[in-house]
Amino acid sequence: MSDVLGALDALGSTDPGLLQLPGLVASLARVQAAATGHYLRRLGELDASGEFEVEGAATTAAWVRRETGKSEREARDDVRLARRLRQLPVVQAASIAGDLPPQTVELVARVAMLLPEELRAATEPALVDAARLMTYEQLRRFLSEKVASLAPDQLKDAIETAYERRRLYLDPLGDMGEVRGSLEPLVAEQLDVVLNALMESDRRADETRTIAQRRADALRLMVEMVCELPEMPQVREALPQLIVVSEEGKPAHTTGGNVLSEGQLDLVRCASDVTTVVVSPGRRPLDVGRSARSVGRRVWLAIVVRDEGHCQVAGCSAPASRCVPHHIVPWRLGGGTDLDNLVLLCVAHHHALHDREINLILYDGRTLTPTGGLPVGAGPPPRRSRHLQVA
């Protein structure tokens, strides 16, 4: 074992030069695959021998966790795969030779075990051959088709199992709202398609968001769109709304218990519509009538026409359908719902201004701050100097 580690050490300390680098990286991936193959084979042997009990661990997975520092799930997955590979000699051999990346070994082994035992040995070589030739995605499709034709009941079982295992957990309170769970593969794929379309429609010229951040923004967009659907079910004779309680001298909070900053309160007041409603402690709605649909149709049309149908942040062309009428001077500071105090902002820029207090430069040269608008050429107020750079 020290020879192996020594050889790896030697590789790591020599300077391969740029020309040799691609070959070296490819070789290391193969070494990694082969090492995983050997690890799984020996783990399978250890598991079959029951040796781990001697070492004071209740299960093989517990032993793996303790000895390798892997997570519970990783350890369990390793043991399950090692057990499968003991029944799949051809896949095991390819894995040890480093012919297949670990992820592919896992896929082939999992699918091969779905086949009826009498077909398994005869089919194994063909599965491994396919795995050598295909990309992971091609292989996955090929294997699904194989299972569907050779073991149709298994496919039905897999669908049934996925249905039983569907879960969605949502925790809206805390530093971050947490979403996690498992969806049936088709549902997950459909969600992926929808989110990708929304991400594409919300692409920015100066894109600095990560893919994961853009996906989160797409989900927010989806929620806002769904809330506007006429089919949206009513609960206790009202549309499902985020209810914000605002009381003089106290921080505003949602009925769920999330506290809002002043900027966030301005935000929901500007955009207050079907998704959000602001009420006083007596539940008297304060801001009903300030949304895009209810600043009054005439005022809304006037803003859209004046602002040429798109977000007014310099460089942004998000259409009016994706915009809200922002109150330049917020309501709490005396700003009114008249044309001069309103400007079209897309949802993304609107959130940037209120949530993160980022000053925005408009097409007409004014600088928009969270508390008002500065005339052309005037600098941002000294306290806040961050600008959202728009190409």
- Alpha-carbon separation of residue 262 from 29, 138, 388 (angstroms): 52, 52, 20
- Counting contacts by CB under 5 A, is residue 151 touching Zn ion? no
- Counting contacts by CB under 5 A, is residue 313 touching Zn ion? yes
- Counting contacts by CB under 5 A, is residue 322 touching Zn ion? no
- Counting contacts by CB under 5 A, is residue 278 touching Zn ion? no
Least distance (Å) from Zn ion to the CB of residue 224?
A: 14
Q: Which stretch binds Zn ion (CB under 5 A): 30-38, 144-152, 155-163, 263-271?
A: 263-271
- Counting contacts by CB under 5 A, is residue 91 touching Zn ion? no
Q: Which residue blocks in the chain are alpha helix, DSSP H?
A: 2-13, 17-49, 60-68, 72-86, 89-96, 102-112, 117-133, 136-150, 152-164, 185-201, 211-227, 262-271, 297-306, 347-356
- Counting contacts by CB under 5 A, is residue 323 touching Zn ion? no
From CA 140, how far away is CA 390, in angstroms rounded?
42
Of 270, 292, 303, 320, which lies in the binding site for Zn ion, with binding defined by CB under 5 A? 270
Of 115, 279, 311, 347, which lies in the binding site for Zn ion, with binding defined by CB under 5 A? 311
DSSP state of 189: H
From CA 367, how far away is CA 371, in angstroms rounded?
11
Of 88, 94, 100, 318, which lies in the binding site for Zn ion, with binding defined by CB under 5 A? 318
Residue closest to Zn ion, measured at CB: 270
User: b/e for 272-297, b at 16 or more Cβ within 10 A?
Assistant: bbbbbbbbeeeeeebbeebbbebbee
Of 120, 146, 349, 351, which lies in the binding site for Zn ion, with binding defined by CB under 5 A? 349
Least distance (Å) from Zn ion to the CB of residue 138?
A: 40
- Counting contacts by CB under 5 A, is residue 112 touching Zn ion? no
- Alpha-carbon separation of residue 241 from 59, 254, 256, 276 (angstroms): 49, 10, 11, 5
Q: Which stretch binds Zn ion (CB under 5 A): 111-119, 178-186, 279-287, 342-350?
A: 342-350
Of 346, 347, 362, 388, which lies in the binding site for Zn ion, with binding defined by CB under 5 A? 346
From CA 45, how far away is CA 211, in angstroms rounded?
42
- Counting contacts by CB under 5 A, is residue 146 touching Zn ion? no
From CA 109, how far away is CA 143, in angstroms rounded?
11
From CA 29, how far away is CA 375, in angstroms rounded?
59
- Counting contacts by CB under 5 A, is residue 290 touching Zn ion? no
Cβ 72 vs Cβ 58: under 8 Å: no
Q: Which stretch binds Zn ion (CB under 5 A): 69-77, 198-206, 286-294, 318-326?
A: 318-326
Least distance (Å) from Zn ion to the CB of residue 348?
A: 6
- Counting contacts by CB under 5 A, is residue 316 touching Zn ion? yes
Provide the binding-site residues for Zn ion, judged by CB under 5 A. 270, 311, 313, 316, 318, 326, 346, 349
